[in-house]
Structure formats: structure tokens, C-alpha cells
Chains A and B, each alone.
Chain A
Amino acid sequence: MDTGHGMELINFIDITPTIAILLILVGFIGGMVSGFIGSGGAFVLTPAMMALGAPGIVAVASNICHKFPKALVGAVKRNKYGQVDVKLGLVLGLFAEAGVLFGKHVMTHIKHSFGAVGTDLYVSGVFVLTLAIVGGFVFKDYRKLKALDDAGQGEETTPITRVARWVQSVKIPGTMIYSRGAQAEISVLFLIPIGFATGFLASAIAVGGFIGVPAMIYFLGLPAIMATATELVIAFVMGLGGTLFYGLEGAVDIRLAVLILLGSLFGVQLGAIGTTYVKDSQVKFTMAVIMLTVLFSRFFYIPGYLGHLGMIEPLSASTTRILKWVGDGVLALALIVGAYTVLSALFKGMKAHKEKLAVLTRGEAAD
């Protein structure tokens, strides 16, 4: 909010015991979803922090801050399994840093011109648009995988796309680097827009992986497992930079970040354990459902912001309150659905696995 004499007030929320418990719970579910779908579950955290009253810029900044050390731990772990293309991750991370810096300028420009509510509107708008697009693609992917599953060819790996083959065939002298993940040489010129866009998105909604991961798979030809692992390197590099840039703007609320982290670290490991018991198509389905639901939580807030900024006729207090209530209800629903899907997959899977093991053991004993 702009105050007298052009000064800006960016408030951190009061952390009451209820808010703290909600943050931990939301972090837990966000982490679980993150671990389950491989990366990017933090997308539920930005709207949740905003629903609890944090301005858009603080929610994004604190979300980025809670993510980067976790990304480092994840990257180191998955590097041990040989899933990380470190060089590609660092190069993309470097260009992502430029994207984050540019995006942060956009955000602070909006903050200076329209105050904290301006950043609320900006974050919400980008959020709704991104999740609608990505959620739609994920749903399409799910249907394809499901069809393969039904035809009994579920575990088949998909061949690299035609675009990726073309990208790998373009040789521009002096710009080529070898990507271990793609097992081919790729021109840095292709990496600039991918990295930049990833960083820009991260600066706006705290999740850049929505661009980074599919781009590495479809445009560069990395296998999905290496793309999500390499994304962790990018997330670390741009998360560290993003925390610095936003921290210098006084927008990183470490209390928010660590409470989310507290729940998320428990959740992420549970989610990761869960994936080992389910089919790929189930993971995609969960991801699509959560994305397409959660976007509406922000959608219902937008009219209120527009009214507040005078861009539309201001809504009555009761209408704004009802819309906020609906938005929060949708968010709660998305979180409950997410938690239920992951936990039920985990427990059902574990039970089935135990029964299978018991049958095998009995079989061996009979031999």
C-alpha cells in the first residue's frame, strides 16, 4: 500500500498459532504433492500463503526461499543416481537467473505503481493462466498414458520428439555444448529462451519448473526422469538468486518460509515413497486435478483486486467476502484432494505390495 509521501508499506502477516499450524499443514500437503509428481508442488503454496494474508510479492519471495535449499538437497541425492545433467542445469540456471532478475523488476515496478494489491493481482493473473495451460497439457498426457496402460504398454518409454531431434541437429559453431542428459550436442542459443522463461515464471509465481521440465523433455530431448532431476539444479540456482533479489527488496519472510519447510520436508519424502507404488498415469491424473482445481482459488480473488485498484467498478464488501470465501474453499478442496490421492495411493500400494511379498514368500517356502 502506498502511504503518505510515497512510502510503501509491505506487511508481514502475524503468525498466530492457528496460522502456524495451517502453514505447516499446507507445507506438508504441498511437499507431498511435490514429492509425488517429481517437482513443482510448490505451486499450491503461493496461493495458500496469499489466502492467509501475505501480499503476492511476499508469498512468492518466501516460497522461493523455502525451496532452494531443498532443491540442493534433492539435486545432490539424485545426482548420486546419475539422473542430473549438472552442466545443462547450471547453464540453464544462469539464464534463468537473468529471467528472475527481469521478473523481479516487473514485480517491483508493479509494487511501486500499484502497491501490494498490484502484486496480488499480477501473481494471481500469471498463476491462473499458467496453471490452466500446464494443467490442460498434463491432462492430455494423462489420457495418452492411460490409453497405453489400458493397451498393456504402460511402462514403455516415449521416444524423443521431432522438435527435439531438430534442435539436436542444429549445429551453430561456437555455441555447442554437450548435454549428458540428451546425449547430444545442443546450441546454447536454444537454452537462452528456455532458461529465461523458466526464471521469469519463477519470479512471478515461485515455480519455474512448469516451463523448465517440459522444455527439457520436448525441446531438448531429455528423458523425463533426468529433466525433473536437472530442474532441481536450475531451481537451486534461481532460488538462491531469487531469494537474494527479493530479500534486497525486503520481501522475504523467513518465518513463513520455515513453517512451510517444516511441513514440506515431511511431505516430500512421503510423496516420493508414494510414487514407487503407483503407475505414471495415476501421478499425471493427480497432478492435472490439483492444478485445474487450485487455479480457481486465485481466479475468485481477481475481481476483488481489480475493484480495489479501481480497474473495475468496486465490488461491495459482501461480494468480495463471498468470492474470497469461495476461493479459499476451492483451495482447501484442492489440498484435501491432493492429500487424499497421495496417501490412498501410498497405503493401497503398500498393502498390495505386502500381500504380493507374502504370496512370494509362501511360494518360496513351498518350494
Chain B
Amino acid sequence: MAVNQNTWVRTLGWGVVTTGLYVFLFLYSEVFERLAHTTLDTCLVHNDSDPAYHHKTTPEQCAAEKGLFIEGTWWYVFAPIAVAFALSYTHGIFTGLFWDVVGLKARK
């Protein structure tokens, strides 16, 4: 079955938007990781240049471990939620169109 041009354009369009979101997330993955760990008080310790986030900490405990104490910001929790929503939406539309273009359809 031939797929009309409009479907192709829409598939490509949503594909580009979705890819863009993934690229954005992975370019800034360290930022997202930091946001995830700092919804609560955190002690950032660098072991062999790898950052390690310790939870259940106090400024004193963190200083003893020669780490950087970061005060928790609870609303950072919305960062992964927003990303998950945005990606499900654009990616969901894209995959639906994708299988149409490929020609796999449910039995009528």
C-alpha cells in the first residue's frame, strides 16, 4: 500500500523532534544526573575524577569526606517527569506513524 507524502513528512518531522530531545538529554546527561541526585541533601565526592553522589548526609559528614555539600532542591524532581512526558508524546506519535510507513497494521 502506498504511503502518501503527508504521512512521510509528518513521520520525518516527529522523528527529528524526538531525536533532538534525545540528543539534548544525552548532551546534558551530567546535568540531569546531578539534578536527580540533588533533590535531597547530597555530598559530591570526586573519586579518580568520577563524581559520586552520597545521600543521607550533613555538611559536617561531607566535609570529613572532603566532598562538596549540595543542599537538596525538591522541585528538581520535575526534571525527569517533564522529559519523560515530552519524549513519550513526540516519540509515541513518531512510532505510530513509523509502523504505518513500514506497512504493519492491525487486522481490521
**A-to-B contact residues, CB < 8 Å:** 3-12, 15, 65-66, 68-70, 72-73, 112, 240, 243-244, 247-255, 257-258, 261-262, 265-266, 269-270, 272-273, 276-277, 346, 349-350, 353
Asked whether, in the complex, the Cβ of A254 is within 8 Å of the Cβ of B56, the reply is no
Asked whether, in the complex, the Cβ of A12 is within 8 Å of the Cβ of B107, the reply is no
Q: Give complex CA distance A117, B69 in Å.
A: 25
A-B contact pairs, 22 of them (CB 8 A): A3-B65, A6-B56, A7-B62, A69-B84, A69-B87, A70-B92, A73-B89, A243-B80, A243-B84, A250-B40, A254-B84, A255-B26, A255-B29, A258-B25, A261-B84, A261-B87, A261-B88, A262-B22, A265-B88, A265-B91, A266-B95, A349-B107
Interface of B is mostly: helix
Q: Known contacts being A8-B54, A276-B107, is A252 close to B80, with CB within 8 Å?
A: yes
CB distance from A20 to the nearest CB of B (A): 9
**Which residues of B84-108 are within 8 A (CB) of A?**
84-85, 87-89, 91-92, 95-96, 98-99, 104-107
Interface of A is mostly: helix
Q: Give complex CA distance A112, B61 in Å.
A: 16
Asked whether, in the complex, the Cβ of B56 is within 8 Å of the Cβ of A270, the reply is no
Asked whether, in the complex, the Cβ of B52 is within 8 Å of the Cβ of A11, the reply is yes
Asked whether, in the complex, the Cβ of A250 is within 8 Å of the Cβ of B88, the reply is no
Asked whether, in the complex, the Cβ of A243 is within 8 Å of the Cβ of B65, the reply is no
The chain B residue with its CB closest to the CB of A62 is B80
Q: Give complex CA distance A94, B92 in Å.
A: 26
Asked whether, in the complex, the Cβ of B84 is within 8 Å of the Cβ of A6, the reply is no
User: Chain B contacts of A269 at CB under 8 A?
Assistant: 95-96, 99
**Which residues of B51-85 are within 8 A (CB) of A?**
52-57, 61-62, 64-65, 74, 77, 79-81, 83-85
Asked whether, in the complex, the Cβ of B80 is within 8 Å of the Cβ of A257, the reply is yes
Q: Give complex CA distance A73, B85 in Å.
A: 10
**Which residues of B4-44 are within 8 A (CB) of A?**
22, 25-26, 29, 32-33, 36-40, 42-43
User: Chain B contacts of A11 at CB under 8 A?
Assistant: 52-53
The chain B residue with its CB closest to the CB of A68 is B84
CB distance from A186 to the nearest CB of B (A): 31
User: Chain A contacts of B84 at CB under 8 A?
Assistant: 65-66, 68-69, 243, 254, 257-258, 261
